[in-house]
Amino acid sequence: MGVTILLSYPVPENKTGPQTAELLIKRIGALGAVQSGQFLVDCETFSSGPTMGGPPRTVHVLHNSEQPAAVFALLESPGPPPKTVPLVADGLFDLLMLKMSSIYASKKQTRMEARGTRFEIADFLVKIGTVTMSSNFKGVLVEVEYRPCFIAGNCWELMREFMQSFLGSVVQNTPPPYFQVHNRLNDVYQPLDTIQQYLDHFASYRKVAGL
């Protein structure tokens, strides 16, 4: 599992989302990327009903097609202090959540998906996907993974240069906000970090009203 950076590519006014995605695909194709399948990251949210007591807690259940056997779950409890508990589980976890439907109710309308194509260039893995929330387009997400390295601080410069080559000035010179807290730049990168980045972006997309 290499270091993965997730970027939200802003859609220019005169273009639609899919067109932007096409444009990025063309650019990455020009660099010599080879298409190698599709990818899908989806997120379903459950919130705890009144039977639990206390402020309502949310559970986000995410799947990543890159890790087909795993299910990621993040529990956000707002009660003081607010904390997020991550979990990586086998596929049976989905069935468990189904069984707990009386306690944790799923909000079907907030199901978010990032779907698109994945490309391989040398040691990099690029995924360009469109984010939809119950078939409403929300934005374009670009995920870039550098496979050989698993410490973000060691390869941030390299990845920034690579991303700027086909994304342009959208890429900032400082690492994304996810990596700037908790000394994450020097920690070993886990698949869970990718999922948390996806969750952050999905949350920001949810806040944007309608598109």
Residues of this chain that interact with other proteins (CB under 8 A) are: 1, 66-72, 88-93, 190-192
Cα–Cα distances (Å) from 139 to 18, 26, 114, in that order, read: 9, 18, 9
**Bridge partners, 74 (sequence order):** 60, 86
CB of 33 to other proteins, least distance (A): 18
Residue 188's contacts (CB-CB under 8 Å, 6 or more residues apart) are 150, 151
Tell me how far CA of residue 143 lies from CA of 4, 49, 194, in angstroms: 7, 34, 9
For other proteins, give the closer residue by CB, 70 or 203. 70
CB of 58 or CB of 67, closer to other proteins: 67
Min separation Cβ 49 and other proteins, Å:
24
Q: Could you tell me the smallest distance in angstroms from the CB atom of residue 190 to other proteins? A: 8
- Minimal distance, residue 71 CB to other proteins, in Å: 7
Candidates 85, 42, 76, 89; CA nearest to 202 is 42
State which residue, 66 or 143, has the beta carbon closest to other proteins.
66
Residue nearer to other proteins on the CB measure, 50 or 68:
68
Q: How do beta strands 112-121 and 34-48 pair?
A: antiparallel
99/182 with CB nearer other proteins: 99
* Beta strands per DSSP E along 103-207: 104-106, 112-121, 124-133, 136-146
Q: How far is the CB of 74 from other proteins (least distance, A)?
A: 14
3-state secondary structure of 136: strand
